[in-house]
Amino acid sequence: MRSLALLAAFTLAAPASAVSPDRTERLLAELADAPGPSGYEEAVRAVMVRELTPLADKVTYDGVGSVIAQQGTGGPKVMLDAHMDELGGMVRRITPTGFLSMQMLGGWLDQALPDQRWIIIGRKGPVHAVTGIRDVHVVPAEERTRVFPRDSLYLDIGARTAAEVEALGIGPGDPVIPDSPFVALPGGRYLGKAWDDRVGCAVVIEVLRRLRASGHPNQVIVAATVQEEIGLRGARTAADLIRPDIGIAIEGGITGDSPGRSPEETQAVLGAGPGLFLYDSSTLPNRRFVALVGDVAAAKSIPLQRDLVQGYGDDSAAIQATAGGVPTINLVVPARYTHAHNGIIDRADFDRTVDLVVALIERLDVGTVARIRSFAP
């Protein structure tokens, strides 16, 4: 009886922090849960267009599917970027016994892939799958700590034959996403997939909402881009159309506050405020722009985490290299465990990032942008 009582309590109890989610939490949940691996961003695009259209003067698209929403018709062109795609995969081939091989999309760690649940978006609807793993009872001792390469993994949907797979509406090229539903954790933290970069997508929506109410001296052009995880492609095509005077990328950052991390990897801490990248493997930010971010953060009493990160690329690199050169920065909402099935963000970091970006855009008038763009000695 005690076991049944415990089971009932576990099943019926609502998470303490998820009893009354506000608009922002609902938006974060919807964006995190939406399927959208690189090249298959339709569901995320629908959310972005729904949210951005009432806040923008016009909404257009580039030739690969990025959403471009413009607010304001005068002043400097400020490109505010967040990418819609997430790490995922696509079905490669179907074996005669009903297993599926998978082409990974984006920078997965091989050790993050075995024994994980996935959702395949087939032509007849979603199908649940798992990447198999060898049973510990038959794995030799010397192989038990080995990382198995991704090409040795197969999706198991419970089918017995290739014909059963095809009857479910699954075929080569169908997108695959992590099966990792959003959960509100205690203390204002959120667990979910795809914070890189659905958290950025939520930031640009909230920034445009705030700016619509307060006003600003610029043309703010939000670009919700595609295919960042496989080569920053949407940022490049969107920037070609926008031809911005200045660019701000909003990303999911990384943290170094969980056990076993070296401080040389990153020193960012969850809950300690937005991050500003001073270096990553794809770009160096404009130094005058970096200084302005620091000034604005200090003036608004917003904590700012400055970081240098190896092995990281972001859309600001593609924006920077268009239109003869664009001053850019990369601002991040810190996140634990990016490029894996599950990550954690802190709501306070999100809110402070919105505050910082709004205050920054309000400062980017004609004279300020001209000074940032000037390299005259």
Of the residues 25, 228, 229, 251, only one is catalytic, namely: 228
How many angstroms separate the CA atoms of 73 and 23, rounded? Answer: 28
The residue written with tokens 């081939």 in the block is 93
Assign residue 131 a region (left: φ > 0; alpha: ψ between -120 and 50; beta: otherwise). beta
Token pair in block for residue 304: 């700012």
Burial (Cβ within 10 Å: 0-12, 13-18, ≥19) of residue 15: exposed
Q: Are 238 and 87 in contact (CB under 8 A)?
A: no
Burial of 141 per CB tally in 10 Å (0-12, 13-18, 19+):
exposed
Overall size of the chain counted in residues:
377
Q: How far apart are CA 79 and CA 242, in angstroms?
A: 8
State the Cα–Cα distance between residues 354 and 274, nearest whole angstrom.
Answer: 9
* Three-state DSSP string of 140-209: CHHHCCCCCCHHHCCEECCCCCHHHHHHCCCCCCCEEEECCCCEEECCCEEEECCHHHHHHHHHHHHHHH
Sorted by sequence, the CB contacts under 8 Å of residue 246 that are 6+ apart come out as 76, 77, 78, 79, 289, 326, 327, 328, 364, 369, 372, 373
C-alpha to C-alpha distances, 128 to 190, 315, 338, nearest whole angstrom:
23, 32, 22
- Residue 230 has which token pair? 């496989």
Per the listing, tokens 């790490």 go with: 87
Active site residue 228: yes
Catalytic residues: 228
